[in-house]
A and B are shown apart, each in its own frame.
Chain A
């Protein structure tokens, strides 16, 4: 299993050599293995969005390299479009990019740009719509008469229909109600599970990242603050709080328990795991807690 994406000393500066030059990300080196589900979190303005727009060559690094599947994407400028199809990028509020008359045509825009045959496009549209929970009869409707959550799903389906090897989503659940939020994230997770596509989920909701990601990249001030498995990251809950991020509520409960003098593990980030930890603690932990 190779690295689907790797960055080497990646930096990006907005308005270089101007009085208002700002370094968005600096010296970022990390790699992500294929078939993983990676969560990227960090406070607002820490460079999350800038980082992910480098993953398919929409932004050209000021310095450093981006490698997809081992190939430097900027090695040949003319070949950049190839990588746009390898990495599917879903921006924040993607429903604002819908433009076709029907949902079907809109989802098919990406595949058509790839130069696929009409049958292939049709098949992919149906598959993608299905993954995103869009009923077949919805395909003939105008995307502009759908609800916000439905529009969002159409937009995500438009990227999934391209069958990228790496699917990157920037805050896919922002601005949705709790139910819509869970639905969309569940669908992404099951898409990941069924197809094995590598997924990057950018979010500032700790709850979401804790629930879905295998690994977490924590960003701060344009750099990497932590990069580890989800469990290891939440074991450092106090550091997360110091960065200005929140931790899942269940983790807060355990942090408080520890503060109150209980020698209990605090690497808890899901309710299920919390229950196990409590049971383990109740069975054998009594001895060393004092």
Chain B
């Protein structure tokens, strides 16, 4: 059950996307998400989906993984789409009781649902192709100009690294404790809400205890290795932007510009057809 969580899940590989400089990758992902909100016309959405399809193929990420990252969010997508379906005003094409569905509503709901899907897939692509350590390293670098204004960029990145690092560990731990309590007859899967919350106590107490124990041990281990924060710290792996990174970024940017102007192009296309 807990193993289905894909947040921060990384699929190691050696595709050009895996090798792209993580700082550029983060910036490009943000740009892509912005473009999803600029190019809201059908052509723009189609171009965005095409881009995702191309990237996923390039990174050799199985289609199953796309589905897996989307599965937990389906209810949210469905609710948003249905709300839009019902509340976008326009010429009603279908009417039941006080609910009316308009053509505009259908159009908007579909576009919105597809856009949310594209957003999730785009963001997942970043974590699938970048290891958490490299990702936080890149975030630290991107935020480092802010350090001048006493923004704790390094501390923030270190906290993120540790948090990401311990997600799988704690999931595994939770799994183990749940198994152990189930073996003692705990009923974790059924019962009323109150019963379920009560049944969680035997899982949460040992889990918290072990999390604190781990934190203690980690702090000690870091101190033993003379960790004193980011000042004067050097890195084993330096980030370099090479020619291939620049080429890929330029290609992406060009494509994003195309998506940005897709509204204009779509207008021309629709005009030509009409």
- Enumerate chain A interface residues (CB-CB to B < 8 A): 17-19, 53, 56, 58, 81, 84-85, 88-89, 91, 94, 96-99, 109-110, 113-114, 144, 158-159, 162
Contacts and interface: CB of A to CB of B under 8 A. Distances in A.
Nearest to A55: B183
Contacts of B180: 89, 91, 94, 97
Interface residues of B, dominant DSSP:
helix
A84 B185 CA distance: 6
Interface of B: 11, 62, 64, 176-177, 179-187, 201-202, 205-206, 209-210
Contacts of B209: 96, 144
Contact of A81 (B62, B179, B185, B201): B185
Given A18-B64, A19-B62, A96-B177, A84 B202 contact: no
A152 B11 CA distance: 38
A114 B185 CA distance: 7
A99 B206 contact: yes
B183 A56 contact: yes
A121 to B, nearest CB: 12
Contacts, number: 56
A88 B202 contact: no
A97 B187 contact: no
A91 B179 contact: yes
B197 to A, nearest CB: 15
Contacts of B206: 96-99
Contacts of A91: 176, 179-180, 183
A110 B185 contact: yes
A94 B187 CA distance: 19
Nearest to A161: B184
A97 B11 CA distance: 32
A99 B185 contact: no
Contacts of B177: 96-97
